[in-house]
């Protein structure tokens, strides 16, 4: 049994050290579009002055990444567009805020949360751009 265990342990140590030497790199393809869905669920409990304060949120984002043609200097530009966003945030005291990109002009239940919804609407109306410098071909 011991003779089989020693080579196995040696192999595991070698594989762990070899994998640390690998560099992972995203290599974007020219003129491609990719869509991702990101599901976010957070529940946190804060301790403040001996009280537990519980907040929760759940969000779904569908994001499109469109990469253009390579420029003469080797750079690639990617346009990131949030196609759909939904979210629900639960705060202490029963305060709930919801956002749905299908209804972007819906108002918050309380005025103090309105600026957060305005931020999400701004993200939808103004897609971001990213420039990757001289990515490998």
pLDDT in tens, 102-133: 998 888 888 888 998 888 888 888 877 666 55
Examine residue 9 and state whether it is found in any structural domain, yes or no: no
What domain range is 58 assigned to? 27-132
CA dihedral 64, 68, 74, 80 (to 10 degrees): -30
Examine residue 79 and state whether it is found in any structural domain, yes or no: yes
pLDDT at 15 over 90: no
Examine residue 2 and state whether it is found in any structural domain, yes or no: no
Sequence-separated (6 or more) residues with CB below 8 Å from residue 31: 67, 68, 69
How confident is the model over 71-100, as pLDDT tens digits? Answer: 888 888 888 888 999 999 998 888 899 999
The pTM of the whole model exceeds 0.75: no
Q: What angle do CA 15, 17, 23 make, to 5 degrees?
A: 100
Q: How many domains does the chain have?
A: 1
């Amino acid at each position: 049994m011991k003779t089989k265990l020693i080579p196995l342990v040696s192999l595991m140590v070698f594989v762990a050290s070899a994998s640390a030497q690998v560099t992972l790199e995203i290599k974007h393809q020219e003129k491609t579009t990719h869509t991702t869905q990101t599901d976010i669920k957070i529940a946190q409990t804060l301790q403040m002055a001996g009280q537990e304060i519980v907040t929760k949120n759940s969000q779904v984002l569908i994001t499109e990444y469109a990469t253009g043609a390579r420029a003469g200097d080797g750079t690639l530009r990617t346009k990131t567009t949030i196609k759909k966003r939904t979210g629900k945030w639960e705060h202490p005291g029963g305060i709930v805020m919801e956002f749905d990109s299908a209804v972007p002009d819906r108002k918050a239940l309380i005025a103090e949360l309105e600026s957060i919804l305005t931020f999400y609407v701004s993200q939808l109306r103004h897609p971001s751009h990213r420039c990757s410098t001289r990515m490998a071909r």
